[in-house]
Amino acid sequence: MTNPFAKPWIWSWVAAALAFALTLGLTSGRGAGELAYAALSFGAFAAIVGLGQMLVITLGPGNVDLSIPATMTLSATLALKAMGSDEGTALLGLVVALGAGLGAGLANYALIFLLRLPPIIATLAASLVYQSFAIWSNRGLRIKPPEGLADFATGRFLGLPNVAWVGLALAIVVWVVLERSVWGRWLLATGQQMRVARLAGVPVELVRASTYVTVAVFAALSGYLLASFSGGAALNMGTEYLLMSIAVVVIGGTSIAGGYSNVPGVWGAALFMFLVVSMLNSYGAGAGVRNVLTGAIIIAIVIAASTKKRGRA
Amino acid sequence: MSLLARYRIILPAVSLAVLLAATFWMQPRAMSYFGLNLLFNLAVPIALATIAQMMIIMVNDIDLSVGAFVSLVACITATFLNDAPVLGLAMLLALIVTYAVMGAVIHALDLPAIVVTLGMSFVWGGIALFILPSPGGSSPGWLRTLMTVKPPLAPMAVVASVVIAVVTHFLVIRSGLGTVLRGVGGNARSVQRAGWPVIRLKALAYGLAGLFGVLAGMALVGLTTSADANIALRYTLLSIAGVILGGGEFTGGKVSPTGAVIGALTLTLASSFLSFLRLSPDWQIGAQGAILILVLTARLVFRQKRAEA
């Protein structure tokens, strides 16, 4: 406990700080505020979906939600369509988005529970259906978000981006729920040993259902904010968040084997994923080199985290 | 057990037959040499990629980099293998070795395969972008000839699928080594206790996955004649779906190579079938998802029947 480096989430923050420092090293410190602001804005979307994915991965091996991008796109599309760029409809849009997320989450879990499908394949198949819904309802139109909502999504409060406030608030809620609530303990117990948890009286299926609904609602919220932030929903807006959501969880120090969550690490990793790209950009790396290095860094972090773990044990 | 093994292959075969019958019923002209060729044209690379994924699932891991890897191979095939065959071949061999090393490292350090392959997918994608920043390149002549050859009786795609299924069946199900490899998925510790070097077996499984990934990329270029860095990204999800459709399971080394090939054919046919349905393009992807769910539901029904029997 005395050694701060024993905490698994510290690594993502160290990596993020390092990327931040290296980027600024090039400009000899200029633009630090802007870079931090951009990282917080873009990191927020990754952090929100990452928090959801973290809860699912905590459920244990084989649990992962591959429908996050489709859910983001679908809920953002439906929300923007419902709002139709009219002022004062932001709340309606939010309700529509979260409703779409709720529906997607329930549908995912229904496939997993009723058809006994492995979650990977259930969410994969379902995501194809959601994608179709999104294409059908969007029809290539790009509806602008209402001005007030767009202002909120791109605005700031006390110097921090509003979207980052939303992401931070969610992180705190998830952290408190995991650490302090019965549901959080149930989730961790289920992830550590599902059979034992069931025998100990944990309503395992209820925990699983609520987790799959939560991840979909988080994805919906992230999609709603991202569409408002970037001036409209696009059919490919969620694509990068599939790999991103998994990467953020793992770099953040959450155990991929389940049963151990790590909330602060998700934010650190979300910032890191943005900062590493901007660092490589500012050093003039092309798209190819950038991808190779991103991949190498992800693997290096996983290896570092695993040897650390063994050293402690 | 033999009953189980037989059941495992019956369902994928029946799904494919039903889908094929439905396609013929809607479009009788597809029931010809030329029609079949069109229907299954792109099945060969998908089948090979599905086999690659199956090798990884066989040892209880999952590979999220298949799509990016096949894209990279396609880029190398369309550039280096065409212009400087020796260098191109060396690069492809190096990729296979890299895959084997990746398997060994994953086992030695006890890393989660899902994350390592996720990271590798960025690496493969990056190298592919580096080699071929914009779509282009061209297929080596011999490869093009091989993929478009017109064998008697059945079109190339069907013949190739049968060959792939037979070869991998003997490799994975019949051979001694294949049995041990499946044993690693079943219970790695037992295999280790029995005196087998699990790390080498894992490297072998990954190496085989790399080999089939390379073949998939080459087959793809032979069909499309050019490549780009994103050409096969959807293969990652397709290959996972193909393995499961073919009766494979994510854990326990329970895989079926013949089933995987049939699963890949089913997925390919599903998209052809949907275009015959004159379904609005909006719904094509969704209908593919629905077919996937339908087939997997049938699997559940089968399983319950078996439990009752």
Domains (range + CATH), chain A: 4-312 (1.10.3470)
Identify the pLDDT of residue A213: 94
| Cα atoms in the Cβ-side hemisphere of radius 13 Å centred on B235 | 35
Cα dist from B9 to A240, A288, B258, B260, B296, whole Å: 36, 42, 7, 9, 13
Kindly state the average pLDDT of the residues B216-226.
Answer: 92
The reply to whether A129 touches chain B by the CB within 8 Å rule is yes
* Percentage helix, strand, coil for chain A under 3-state DSSP, each rounded to 5: 75, 0, 25
Kindly state the average pLDDT of the residues A259-276.
Answer: 87
- Helices within chain B (DSSP H only): 2-26, 33-40, 43-58, 66-78, 80-83, 85-108, 113-131, 141-148, 156-169, 176-193, 198-224, 235-245, 257-276, 281-308
The reply to whether B127 touches chain A by the CB within 8 Å rule is yes
Phi, psi (degrees; rounded to nearest 5) at A173: -60, -50
Identify the pLDDT of residue A104: 93
pLDDT digits (tens, 9 = 90+) for B4-38: 555 678 888 888 998 899 888 888 888 888 888 88
Strand partners, A160: A157
Q: Which residues of chain A from 255 to 284 reach within 8 Å of chain B, CB to CB?
A: 256-257
- Greater model confidence, A83 or A218: A218
Across all residues in chain B, what is the average pLDDT? 87
- Greater model confidence, B188 or B206: B206
A3: left (phi over 0), alpha (psi -120 to 50) or beta: beta
The reply to whether A313 touches chain B by the CB within 8 Å rule is no
The reply to whether A234 touches chain B by the CB within 8 Å rule is no
The whole-angstrom distance between B160's CA and the closest CA on chain A is 27
The whole-angstrom distance between B15's CA and the closest CA on chain A is 17
Tokens of residue B24, six digits? 């013929």
Q: Which residues of chain B from 279 to 298 reach within 8 Å of chain A, CB to CB?
A: 280-290, 292-293, 296-297
Kindly state the average pLDDT of the residues A248-261.
Answer: 81
Counting residues of chain A whose pLDDT is more than 90, the rounded percentage is 21
Taking a C-beta distance cutoff of 8 angstroms, is the pair A227, B105 a contact?
no
User: If pLDDT is split at 50, 70 and 90, which confidence band does A311 have?
Assistant: very low
The whole-angstrom distance between B149's CA and the closest CA on chain A is 34
Identify the pLDDT of residue A231: 81
The closest CB to that of A295, out of B121, B131, B292, belongs to B121
- Does B288 sit within 8 Å of A128, measured CB to CB? yes
Taking a C-beta distance cutoff of 8 angstroms, is the pair B116, A246 a contact?
no
pLDDT digits (tens, 9 = 90+) for B42-61: 899 999 999 999 999 999 88
Query: Helix, strand, or coil here: A156?
Result: strand
Classify residue A19 as exposed, middle or buried by CB count within 10 Å of its CB (0-12, 13-18, 19+): buried
Taking a C-beta distance cutoff of 8 angstroms, is the pair B209, B99 a contact?
yes
Residues 6+ apart with CB under 8 A from A231: A144, A145, A150
The whole-angstrom distance between B147's CA and the closest CA on chain A is 30
- Greater model confidence, A29 or A55: A55
Residue A1 has pLDDT above 50, yes or no: no
Threshold 0.95, pTM exceeds:
no
Contacts of B69 in chain A (CB under 8 A): none
The reply to whether B302 touches chain A by the CB within 8 Å rule is no
Alpha-carbon distance of A58 to A50, in angstroms, equals 12
- Greater model confidence, B242 or A307: B242
Identify the pLDDT of residue A46: 92
The closest CB to that of B111, out of A115, A289, A302, belongs to A302
| Other CB atoms within 10 Å distance of the CB of residue B162 | 13
- Does A246 sit within 8 Å of B114, measured CB to CB? yes
Tokens of residue A222, six digits? 């992230």
Residues 6+ apart with CB under 8 A from B141: none
User: If pLDDT is split at 50, 70 and 90, which confidence band does A218 have?
Assistant: very high
Report the length, in residues, of chain B: 309
Evaluate whether the domain defined by B7-304 bears CATH number 3.40.1710: no
Tokens of residue B78, six digits? 């369309």
Helix (H) or strand (E) holding A109: helix A90-114
Contacts of B115 in chain A (CB under 8 A): 246-247, 250, 256, 298-299, 302
Kindly state the average pLDDT of the residues A89-103.
Answer: 89
- Helices within A139-262 (DSSP H only): 147-154, 162-180, 182-192, 194-199, 204-229, 241-251
Residue B109 has pLDDT above 50, yes or no: yes
The whole-angstrom distance between A150's CA and the closest CA on chain B is 28
The reply to whether B121 touches chain A by the CB within 8 Å rule is yes
Query: Helix, strand, or coil here: B227?
Result: strand
Contacts of B129 in chain A (CB under 8 A): 286-288, 291
Alpha-carbon distance of B189 to A228, in angstroms, equals 52
Tokens of residue A85, six digits? 């760029």
Taking a C-beta distance cutoff of 8 angstroms, is the pair B209, B56 a contact?
yes
| Other CB atoms within 10 Å distance of the CB of residue B30 | 19
Residue A219 has pLDDT above 90, yes or no: yes
Residue type at position B108: A
The reply to whether A285 touches chain B by the CB within 8 Å rule is no
Q: What is the CA B45 to chain-centroid distance, rounded?
A: 7
- Greater model confidence, B181 or A302: B181
Counted across chains A and B, CB pairs separated by less than 8 A come out at 142
Taking a C-beta distance cutoff of 8 angstroms, is the pair B140, B77 a contact?
yes
Of A154-163, B99-108, B139-148, B286-295, give the range with the top mean pLDDT.
B99-108
- Does B293 sit within 8 Å of A307, measured CB to CB? no
| Other CB atoms within 10 Å distance of the CB of residue B173 | 15
Taking a C-beta distance cutoff of 8 angstroms, is the pair A72, A49 a contact?
yes
The closest CB to that of A247, out of B111, B118, B293, belongs to B118
| Other CB atoms within 10 Å distance of the CB of residue A199 | 10
Strand partners, A5: none
Residues 6+ apart with CB under 8 A from A97: A75, A76, A78, A79, A220, A221, A223, A224
